A and B are shown apart, each in its own frame.
Chain A
Amino acid sequence: MDFIGAYSVGNLSYLLKGFLITLEVAVISIILSFVIGSLLGTLRYAKIPVSSKIVAVIVETIRNSPLLLIIFFSYFGLREVGLKLEIMPAAIMALTIFESAMISEIVRSGLNSIEKGQIEAARSSGLTYIQTMWHIILPQALKRMIPPLVSQFISLLKDTSLAVVIALPEMLHNAQGIYNGNVTYVIPIFILVALIYFIVNYCLSLVARALEKRLDTNQKDGKNGNRRIRAASLSG
């Protein structure tokens, strides 16, 4: 184990470069998946006869498949049917597909956690369905969704490392580049990468927990709702 050699300035900046790619891919993917996931989640929540069922089948299929398989599929599989993506777009696409399905469940359980009586009350006071959703249900649901969304971002950051299999130049890929040149660097580099991941994700998880606590004290019935959402977002 050669810690001093492994942590040379050149190696560190190379790792950092990889981390920036990790961050970039994760941020782009979470934004895209939030948009798509909200759409899918709302569609499933609204119980529109056929489309809700179709969305349910798609979401459950994706949620129950390994992400690694989806990554391979986006990069190699889609090539065969004419969609030739570069490495980075393929990685973003795979992560977006997977996370959209996950986030749609967060959105759906967030919406479900709002009492049905609120819809009835709003509707009977004269608001239309769309107005009710926009002014009454969504603002409350969104607030409850924030902590599980932060947790989801943590798993997305971790999952981005899987894109190493299609040679996305993210942190783990660059780490491999470093230790492939010198076997004594393997453990020091692994420790460093783990620490970087830990520090970033732990800080994010503290943010998620603080937000959760604030919500719990803000709303009396928040605790129950949040627990249900958290159960939906528990992902490894």
Chain B
Amino acid sequence: MLNFSILTKYFDLYFQGFLTTIEVSIIGLICSFILGVIVAVMRIAPLRILNWIGTCFVEFIRNIPLILIVFFFYYGLSNYINLSGFAAGTIGLTIYTAAFIAEAVRAGIQSVDKGQMEAARSSGLTYIQAMKHIVLPQAIKIVIPPIGNQFINLVKNSSILGLVAGMELMYFADYVHEKTWISFDTYIFAALFYLVLTIPLSFFVNRSEKRLARSY
């Protein structure tokens, strides 16, 4: 049976890490959403050089491991700027997640029928008005489930901060492990904290996916 005395004794640490995990996830989501939308717009903008930069960013980041990006900011840049584990981890997570969000947003915008844009433009709206009132509202609906999925991944991936002393859940789980030398229970409890966050999220994502599928 699980040894709950670990949980009660170290609950403060677990909870502190849990809060940091939430913090990283929310900061990461906001920043990577902004960066992702910028990259997505770059990829569909009518300017070849912007397309190219956007594509390079997405393809390069999506195909390398997250841990490499985080280590680059933490160890690689340590001779030039001294980033804390939290900062290096959050920057790495943001860049990594932005590449995936950019793909989701681009697919969302492109999934809106081209005729809609043409119809809006020929009825007198400007490009920006048409984007804002016609295309984006439809795209957002399609984009919400994949971004929700990315948010779940972000929460899970934030565990990487534990490797660069980012003071989040994984870091404190390791700390408790070193203190007690009981690993089975320690990691199970840490997993429970993650599941408290990710299970409701994935429930929400599944529901919005189903609702979207029905609306077709």
Contact = CB atoms under 8 A, between A and B. Distances in A.
A69 B64 contact: no
Contacts, number: 131
Contacts of B66: 158, 236
Contact of A65 (B64, B146, B156, B174): B156
Interface size class of B (residues with CB under 8 A): 35 or more
A231 to B, nearest CB: 7
B29 interface: no
Interface string B19-47: 00000000000000000000000000000
Contacts of A16: none
A159 interface: yes
A228 B199 CA distance: 20
A72 B163 CA distance: 12
Interface in A56-81: 60-61, 63-69, 72-73, 76-81
Contact of A231 (B63, B96, B97, B145): B145
Given A81-B184, A187-B76, A234-B100, A202 B65 contact: no
Contact of A165 (B96, B97, B163): B163
Contact of A197 (B65, B154, B173, B183): B65
Contacts of A60: 199, 202
B64 A64 contact: no
A161 B67 contact: yes
B194 interface: yes
A190 B70 CA distance: 11
For the residues of A in contact with B, the DSSP-based class is helix
A64 B65 contact: no
Contact of B153 (A78, A81, A186, A236): A236
A197 B64 contact: yes
Interface stretch (B81-89, B132-140, B185-193): B185-193
A60 B194 CA distance: 12
Contacts of A79: 183
Nearest to B103: A234
For the residues of B in contact with A, the DSSP-based class is helix
Given A172-B65, A186-B75, A186-B76, A66 B159 contact: yes
A40 to B, nearest CB: 17
B45 to A, nearest CB: 22
B25 to A, nearest CB: 12
Contact of B65 (A159, A183, A187): A159
A235 B60 CA distance: 16
Nearest to A63: B202
A87 interface: no
Nearest to B149: A234
The 10 closest A-B pairs by CB, nearest first: A76-B183, A201-B63, A236-B153, A64-B198, A66-B159, A158-B65, A161-B65, A77-B184, A66-B156, A80-B184
25 contacts: A61-B195, A63-B202, A64-B194, A64-B199, A66-B157, A66-B158, A69-B187, A69-B194, A73-B188, A73-B191, A79-B183, A80-B183, A80-B184, A161-B65, A190-B76, A194-B68, A194-B72, A197-B65, A197-B68, A198-B63, A205-B62, A205-B63, A231-B145, A231-B149, A236-B100
Interface of A: 60-61, 63-69, 72-73, 76-81, 154, 158-159, 161-162, 164-165, 172, 179, 183, 186-187, 190, 193-194, 197-198, 201-202, 205, 228, 231, 234-236
